[in-house]
Amino acid sequence: MKLLFFFLIVCLPPARIFADEAWYESNSIGSPLRPVEAWETGGLEYTLHTKSQDGKQTRTLFDAEEAEVRRWERLYAEAGFLEEETVYIEGVPDSRTLYYPSGLVKEEVLFTDGREDGRFLFAYPAGEPDKKAPPFSVSFLRPDDGGFRDEYQYLPSGDFRGIKRIYEDGAVYTSVFTTEKSVLREEWHSFGNLEILFRYDKQGNLRSSEEYRDGVLVERSGFRYDTEESFRLREKITWDIATGGEIRLEYGEDGNPLRESLFEEGSRVSVTLFTYKDNLLVRKEKRQRSGREEWVYLHDEDKKIVREDYLRDGETETILFYDPQPEYTRVEEYYRNGELFLRLYFSDGEEVKREIAGEER
């Protein structure tokens, strides 16, 4: 129903949809649910008022307090097609869209706090844009002349192949995708001197990845899955080409990391164990020749970390508190031989106060 409603308001002239002026019971997205009289609007959660005159249609959405929530102002050509639409949120411009006669978007202007923040310019293959024609490129421009241009690539069959983003400063970001029977098999991304290649299996699971810098392979990863129908990820192995190091990450039945092992020259030098509760990481333990490290996490009702304890060989060294008080965003406590000796207070990443144990506050 939503798609049909959108098609009608974009492709048909206003006289074929609404009367010159009317009221409707509506919802939060401004759909005309049923016609009502003006005197019936009181008590409704949302009401929609429409007015059409001289090729202009205005649709205004009100809440139960009769405050304007959103307004759509549409301009139609004499032939009946939509030329322009401006959207207002609580009376402030939010976006303006210009259309070709075919209904394809020609230009979209974005606003922030009512002022123009940037605009998208859509370019299509030569000739009059067809309703089914995908854009050849999209340019994004800001009022200060900054922005980028996206160029789309297509196969001879018309299927999407990739995208190239070109910034004003000359930086280029490219992504190319390869599919087989509508299943993604490879994707390649280029960011300056960095290139990343992903390969997928027939089920669409990530099979391997390769990272190149200046054209030289620096890292490769492989992924192992269950052979059963669920095809759950079981293991990820990453090789550092330069050092020969290997990281093996194993996953548990719940899909969360279970164990991470680091190998150097074929020998395991460390192992990290992960403990989850209700799908939240509550403990991480790293064992190596130099000793044992632990991280213990405490979450609030919103599943955000509010406390992090760090222990070495079973002895507390630091405790971090996140958003402990309105005036502080983080508090750090440092311990020596199990005793607190320093407390630091931070606000938005900047230290604003420190306390040394034994000194007067």
What does the pLDDT look like over 145-175, one tens digit per residue?
678 888 888 777 777 889 988 888 888 999 9
Give me the pLDDT at residue 128, please: 61
Beta-bridge partners for 142: none
Q: What would the pLDDT profile of 235-265 be if each residue is shown by its tens digit?
A: 999 999 999 999 999 999 999 999 999 999 9
Give me the pLDDT at residue 301, please: 93
Pair 46, 59: CB distance under 8 Å: no
Distance CA 359, CA 44 (A): 63
Give me the pLDDT at residue 160, please: 84
The answer, yes or no, to whether residue 89 has pLDDT greater than 50, is yes
Give me the pLDDT at residue 13, please: 43
> What distances in angstroms separate CA 87 from CA 154, 164, 208, 229, one per listed residue?
32, 30, 45, 47
The whole-chain average pLDDT of the chain stands at 88
SS3 percent helix, strand, coil of the chain, rounded to 5, is 5, 60, 35
Give me the pLDDT at residue 361, please: 45
Q: What would the pLDDT profile of 176-232 be if each residue is shown by its tens digit?
A: 999 888 889 999 999 989 999 999 998 889 999 999 999 999 999 999 998 876 779
Distance CA 25, CA 46 (A): 6
Q: What would the pLDDT profile of 16-71 be if each residue is shown by its tens digit?
A: 444 589 999 999 999 999 999 988 888 899 999 999 988 999 999 999 999 999 99
Q: Which two tokens stand for residue 72?
A: 């759509």
The answer, yes or no, to whether residue 11 has pLDDT greater than 60, is no
Confidence grade of residue 279 (pLDDT, cut at 50, 70, 90) = very high
The total number of residues written for the chain in this structure: 361
Distance CA 309, CA 293 (A): 11
The answer, yes or no, to whether residue 1 has pLDDT greater than 50, is no
Helix or strand or coil: residue 181? coil
